[in-house]
Structure 1
Amino acid sequence: MTEHSEFGPESYGERLAEIYDDWVVQLQDDTEQTVTFLADLSKQTASETGAGDLLELGVGTGRVALPLAAKGLSVTGVDASVQMLDLLAAKPGGQQIQRVLGDFTDVRVDRQFGVVYIVFNTLLSLPTQEDQVRCLRNAAEHLVRGGALVVQAFVPDVARFEAGRSSGQAMEVARKESTSLLLSVSNHDPVTQRMWPRYGLKGDSGVQEYPLQFRYVWPSELDLMARLAGLKPESRWGGWEGQEFTAESPWHVSVYRRVN
């Protein structure tokens, strides 16, 4: 089995569960801003549509869902990884979140929501454009009319991906005493827009590697994919605090509305 074919819907969680909370989550310093943005949007959609409940696709161990639930909001989380959902359930407040095991391209939850959100590049973990469109369509079907979909993802930097692939160099992105977390790009295919990043946990006993895959999406492409799913682009920001989105923005936070 090749590196390009060994990934399934549950791969992200299966591969990173053992280091996710201690290392990967620590790379995100925007949790408070994310929660504030989504809580405010939930309040807005509740006022406009009567529905303010939230659905997270790719809930992981609850980095965002738990503080939202702590604010008194109703949160449902979908994940394809049993390990991730088990870690979420074991945390304080984890039992407040309805946990659903499934592939978020086609998983069904028995109700609709005011807000569906897909953050921290989770949409990009799907390997094809078709899968990503299916995910957006599934998200739209779980929204009430007028409900909002929020997608957060990085803006592709193809030159950087190619430089990382060709150099083979690993960048240190976190350190705790004698252990460090490295990030590298093992492969990149600009035709299919797929890349294979790799985390490496380096300690006294060597390096433990955690290979991943992403299919990156251009913001304009995401808008078209959303329209195919029955969603109307509403706004795009360079961050969770409403920063202007520009050509230099490394991230985008995009909001779409279900119109039918």
Structure 2
Amino acid sequence: MTNELPSINNFKRRSSLLGWWNRYHQERAETRAKKFKLRSQARFDSLMKTARLIADTNPRGLVDLVRAILRPLQSEYLLGVAERGQDALPTIDAYAFFGDSVRSRMFTADGMDLRGVHLDNMTFSLQLSRDTVLPWAWNVGRYISALATIGSSKTIKDGPKWNNAHQGAWRQDINHRVELWLPWGIGFVHGGNHSITAGILAGEGEITPDYVYDMTYLLDDLHCDGKHYFDTRTGKKTAAVTDVRKAAVFEIGRIMREMNFPAFKSETEKACVHRNARMSQPG
């Protein structure tokens, strides 16, 4: 018996220390999580304060703030496949961009039609060097080929032999498919991801989107405080915020609407005139 007592005592001591160690790490994790939430809320509040000050000064600057907020996301996707390899990042899904609350409100009750107002796409043109266009380059080989050969700067007259691979200045073709969401001015890429990536990085090219949707109805359905999205009609929480930058962009869209300065304001007004004229025609 006397030989067993030290072993039992050591076991109890180790168990006690292990329990304390686990509780310590759990408490630290909880503290970090709380601090992260506080920092996230502070970032959201700061972005919204900045947006309101810009709106008070000149609401035409709001679209530039949206571009600034989403530029790091764009940059991450412009670099992802080069830095991390094939299929490095998930696709950018327009319908899930603002989270589950928005996804569940995208379509009509029968699930057949998008609820956004469809505008004449030919009125709009996205500048790849300026506007928020979000491609998803996923294939390493295509990425290398696009960056190496697309763009007016990729060739020098009478230069070395590798200029033979030059494809010329960036130009739109049937492979390029972009869906533009207003009032934010976000272009979601559905085709031509690698060549659009090359155009953005080359700082050249413009693209007419295939589809343009005014999604301001979402601002009537939902609102966000930086922590949660809420159903505006019932006041109930619909989802937690998982990305404060995207949440801030969502709410900046509300300020754009209130100030009547959405992205592509003149183009939107022209497209609405065309739409109303079509709808007023008999038959």
Q: TM-score, normalised by structure 1?
A: 0.29
The structure in which a higher percent of residues are strand is 1
Q: TM-score, normalised by structure 2?
A: 0.28
Considering only CA atoms, is the larger Rg found in Structure 1 or Structure 2? Answer: 2
The structure in which a higher percent of residues are helix is 2
